[in-house]
Amino acid sequence: MNKIFAELTHILASWNIPAVDLNIVTSLILITGIIILAWLSNFITKRIILTFIKHYVDKSKNQYDDVFYKNGVFNRLSQLIPALIIIGTIAIAIPYNQIVVDWISRITYAYMVLVVIITIVAFFNTLSEIYMMIPQNKGKSIKSYIQALNIFIYIIGIFIILSLILHKDISYFITGISAFAAVLLLIFKDSILGLVAGVQLSSNKSVNIGDWIVVPKYGADGTVEEITLNFVKIRNWDKTTSVVPTYALVQDSFINWRGMEESGGRRIKRSINIDMTSVKFLDEHLIKKLKQVEFITDYLHRKEEELKKYNETHVVNHSEPINGRRMTNLGTFRKYLEEYLSHNENIHKDMTFLIRYLQPGNNGIPIEIYIFSKVQEWAQYEAIQADIFDHILAIIPYFDLRIFQNPSGHDFSKFINQQ
């Protein structure tokens, strides 16, 4: 027996405590003292040492130590001190029963391993946050890698804890796990697929945090907020949240609008259907009227001279407008759109700029506007697009053209009233 236990036993014996209960009473007193000492060490660590660390962190200009403190790295590490006190003193309290001492020691060591594991996990999670704080790494997430590493740490930690408690060599558990490989693969299927997908997405730079992506299969359309081992969190434009499996971004198709954002432009692609029966050659009256339109005045003068020379050179018979070359209201309208849009300061001139005809059909002939807006912000982009088509719809009749539109109730009512 150790000296402390012996002296305390001697004192208790002088109090006429029965010899049968003497060792038990001594152990209870010493265990109580150990518990109080462990509690005091925990109190001093958290109330004094951690308070001092927090004070230092708050005053420090370095933001990284703030993240370490916020994630509880120091707090978790402080939980080792009470455990160390128990390990160092339990043999003093129960010197006569080595089996009990061994079991308490194993459990305490297992607890210490658990504390170390959660501290390491918190440390790596902190590194992930610090990585994201570096400007060069903006939008790049290593969270999936950290989570995979954390799973590996937890597995190793579980093996060590079982090894300590059951008093078995760690290789015993590592060897035995091969028998459950199929079950483990089934349990961690999503994590394994997520890890592989995360590596592919990261190496190919397919998705970054902050990207606007659309995943039709999952109804997701918004900004990527988080990329983890198992899922990608997307904040949709309607403020709802979609959670898409990470591996789905490799297995299924999705749209990433990052290229549009990096290009500095946002595409406007819309068409207006023109009633083909309203297409005609320009007559003198319409030419005179359209020459008052500033955007196409010069064009009309140049085109008139060009067509006049051509028709004179080829001795065209002017008795029928079908002979020779003539301007049409539709072609002039297309030229007007080109000039009008080229003078719009919100439209890119050095990106794709097309005003084209699409395949005519039952709904007339579509004129498609394929251009790029300099503004990418959604509300302003829609406002620019709306202004353009408001103007186009309003000026179409000026060219003696009609928009194709299926008859509505108003059209039928007007027809009936004219009968």
Domain locations in the chain as residue ranges:
3-201, 206-260, 266-418
Residue 49 has pLDDT above 90, yes or no: no
Indicate yes or no: pTM above 0.75.
Answer: no
**CA 195, CA 250: separation in Å to the nearest integer?**
11
pLDDT band at 401 (very low <50, low <70, confident <90, very high): very high
Residue 391 has pLDDT above 90, yes or no: yes
E-assigned strands of 162-203?
none
Residue 333 has pLDDT above 90, yes or no: yes
Which residue carries 């504390």 as its tokens? 115
Please state which CATH class domain 266-418 belongs to: alpha beta
Residues 91-113 have a mean pLDDT of 85
Residue 58 has pLDDT above 60, yes or no: yes
Q: Are 96 and 1 in contact (CB under 8 A)?
A: yes
Q: Residue type at 406?
A: N
358 vs 208, higher pLDDT = 358
- According to DSSP, the residues that pair with 272 across neighbouring strands are 367
Residue 180 has pLDDT above 70, yes or no: no
Environment class of residue 47 by beta-carbon count within 10 Å: exposed (0-12), middle (13-18) or buried (19+)?
exposed
Q: Are 348 and 264 in contact (CB under 8 A)?
A: yes
Neighbouring C-beta atoms of residue 22, cutoff 10 Å: 16
**CATH code of the domain made up of 206-260:** 2.30.30.60
Give me the chain's average pLDDT, please. Answer: 82
Q: Residue type at 83?
A: A
pLDDT score, position 365: 94
